[in-house]
Chains A and B, each alone.
Chain A
């Protein structure tokens, strides 16, 4: 059974359908990357999946439960979905460690010692332990994004959503973050990532889902989608995002 199953998902803004019937499945331990031109609905889809945006119609089945039905416990679902944002969105008044332990202490009601132990494990996993007492303003972009990943992972989510995790970073910092996400991929962390970064997509995905104008056009492994697709929309997109040097 799939961890997440999306059935005919539609999202409209002011009468304009951004998602026009998305169908998608993500199994446990699987990592998929959502790609497509700007404005195709990738980020909207990600935000619909943890109900930061309410879908207009369609179904989202998460762990066997339809989370689009009324009176669903949104809080419990969100606790189970880690979310990493493009612009990090770290809490500026908290240190890296406090960012990672806040959800554990306040939402999961974990004791401080236990929360710190959990955070320490995740900080070490992404090479951020030595920066645990720094505030976000004292970190580089790459470190901020790694801290954001730690914050999401600390909650032990069933799935990790990443919304353009490298697009605010310069190439060197981007590489730093790609390595971390690749490590998570190799650890079989279930992930759904939105990106324009073909390098990231290749190294962290089982398959890439290509979206165009709010519908899934194709889903395949990176190599085939990058170089062998006959669809002109896909060919044109990857011609523009792949560094051919």
Chain B
């Protein structure tokens, strides 16, 4: 078996890696956006909830949360599939980080623009939808790319709950062939290629939607 053959076999697992990454990014964005919207509210209880959420989920390792969700919850009768467990765990944790990225971007939106929108007759929801959110996303691009690549790098944990992604394929192959060095090197190369493709995709999107004067060029 050549190194090239090893790469091809492992690449089969890449589909799951990409799927878990994209689904976790979507979950993280949804959670992060929800937390960012809640963060614009002045209610004390909401602020307390956000502070607690961020404190807990930023301090919790992905693997621990994954084990709580996949192995722990069945103890109280809640059974969640491996894929959903992985996406949920990564989504909840990356959502806490993304919320911080969004919070910073929201704070950078010019107060005068908000005032102008109010003066025009927009309500809070319209101001968020048409003024704050479009600027927030554009200004969050560097932070989002950072977080998305972190999500990609956490996907190998998916093998611990039985998802047949690259790492699981690699471990099976290593057990059969005993060529661990080449196999895990191939895993590294595949991850690097996926990482590079993701970054290129995000950069292209950022370039496509770049607005003069709004984000660093």
Please give me the residue from chain A that is nearest to B131 by CB atom.
A91
A181 → chain B closest CB, angstroms: 18
Residues of A within 8 A of B130 (CB): 102, 106
Task: Give chain B residues whose Cβ lies under 8 Å from the Cβ of A93.
Answer: 131, 134-135, 138, 211, 214
With both beta carbons as reference points, the residue of chain B lying nearest to A103 in the complex is identified as B120
- Interface digits, A40-83 against B, CB 8 Å rule (1 contact, 0 not)? 00000000001010000000000000000000001111110101
Question: Which of B43-51, B54-62, B109-117 is found at the contact surface with chain A?
Answer: B109-117
B213/A138 in contact, CB under 8 A: yes
Interface centre among B113, B120, B131, B135 (most CB of A within 10 A): B120
Q: Mark A128-167, 1 if CB is under 8 A from B, else 0.
A: 0000000111100000000000010001000000000000
Q: Is B122 an interface residue (CB 8 A)?
A: yes
Q: Using CB atoms, name the residue of chain A closest to B134.
A: A93
Interface of A with B (CB < 8 Å)?
Answer: 50, 52, 74-79, 81, 83, 85, 87-93, 102-103, 106-107, 135-138, 151, 155
Q: How far is the CB of A80 from chain B (nearest CB, A)?
A: 8
Question: Bound complex: CA of A81 vs CA of B120, how far in Å?
Answer: 8
Inter-chain contact B115/A103, CB cutoff 8 Å = no
| Cβ contact of B120, chosen from A79, A87, A136, A138, cutoff 8 A | A79
The reply to whether B126 and A106 contact each other, CB–CB distance below 8 Å, is: yes
Expressed in whole angstroms, the minimum distance between the Cβ of B205 and any Cβ of chain A is: 15
CB-defined contacts of A138 to chain B, threshold 8 Å: 212-213
* Contact present for A106 and B122 (CB under 8 Å): yes
Contacts of A136 in B (CB 8 A): 213
In the complex, what residues of B have CB within 8 A of residue A92's CB?
A: 110, 113, 135, 211, 213-214
